[in-house]
């Protein structure tokens, strides 16, 4: 996964709550209940991040998750028609997300957690399929892992020390 230092204050981020669940811990006196939130943030222009937060109240858990997501922003490559540069399979844990290029007019064909990532990243045309685990947290991270592992033709040309015309032949 490529790490980039992105200043979240310079971007106009929007967020999507992917999952909110009540979790409890059994202690000597009974059970302690809390709320756990999974949030995806992005600017719709190639930057996306995901984070989790846990607190005794729902708004506080969501706020913590937003902050964590904005701290973990990554930049993703996109092509000229708002799709991904090439097909790829992203993995995290036992969750696998297959990302396939799509022509203009296809739209975002994705399940719930992967759809949130694609929309926040600004991808307009893509086909995805979630395989393996359907754990929302792992599916979100698998989608982000797949997106950040992609290379543009310019990246490949630079890595090989060739011109872009030689690569695209």
Q: Tell me the pLDDT tens digit for each residue of 4-14.
A: 567 666 778 89
The pLDDT of residue 4 is 59
pTM of the model: 0.89
Residues of the chain with CATH 3.30.160.20: 8-74
Mean pLDDT of 135-144: 94
pLDDT value for 2? 56
Which tokens in the block code for residue 60?
Answer: 């506080």
Chain position carrying tokens 């999952």: 19
List phi, psi (to 5°) of 102: -145, 145
The third-level CATH classification (topology) of the domain covering 8-74 is: Double Stranded RNA Binding Domain (3.30.160)
pLDDT of residue 69: 93
**pLDDT tens digit sequence for 35-84:** 999 999 999 888 999 999 999 999 999 999 999 999 999 999 988 888 89
**CATH, domain 77-157, list 3.40.50.1950, 3.30.230.10, 3.30.420.10, 2.40.30.10:** 3.30.230.10
CA 104, 75, 144, 167 dihedral sign is: positive
Q: What are phi and psi of 128, to 5 degrees?
A: -130, 155
124 neighbors 107 (Cβ within 8 angstroms): yes
Helix (H) or strand (E) holding 108: strand 108-109
pLDDT on residue 81: 84
Concatenated DSSP letters of 41-72: EE-SSSEEEEEEEEESSHHHHHHHHHHHHHHT
């Amino acid at each position: 996964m490529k790490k980039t230092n992105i200043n979240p204050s310079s971007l106009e981020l929007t967020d999507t709550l992917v999952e909110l669940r009540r979790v409890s811990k059994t202690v000597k006196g009974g059970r302690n209940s809390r709320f756990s939130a999974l949030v995806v943030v992005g600017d719709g222009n190639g930057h996306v991040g995901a984070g989790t937060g846990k607190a005794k109240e729902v708004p506080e858990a969501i706020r913590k998750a937003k902050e964590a997501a904005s701290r973990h922003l990554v930049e993703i490559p996109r092509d000229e028609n708002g799709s991904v540069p090439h097909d790829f399979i992203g993995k995290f844990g036992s969750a696998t997300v297959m990302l396939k290029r799509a022509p203009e007019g296809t739209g975002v064909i994705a399940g719930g957690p992967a759809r949130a990532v694609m929309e926040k990243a600004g991808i307009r045309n893509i086909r995805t399929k979630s395989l393996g685990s359907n754990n929302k947290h792992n599916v979100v991270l698998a989608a982000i892992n797949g997106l950040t592992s992609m290379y543009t033709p310019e990246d490949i040309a630079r890595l090989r020390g060739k011109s872009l015309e030689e690569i695209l032949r």
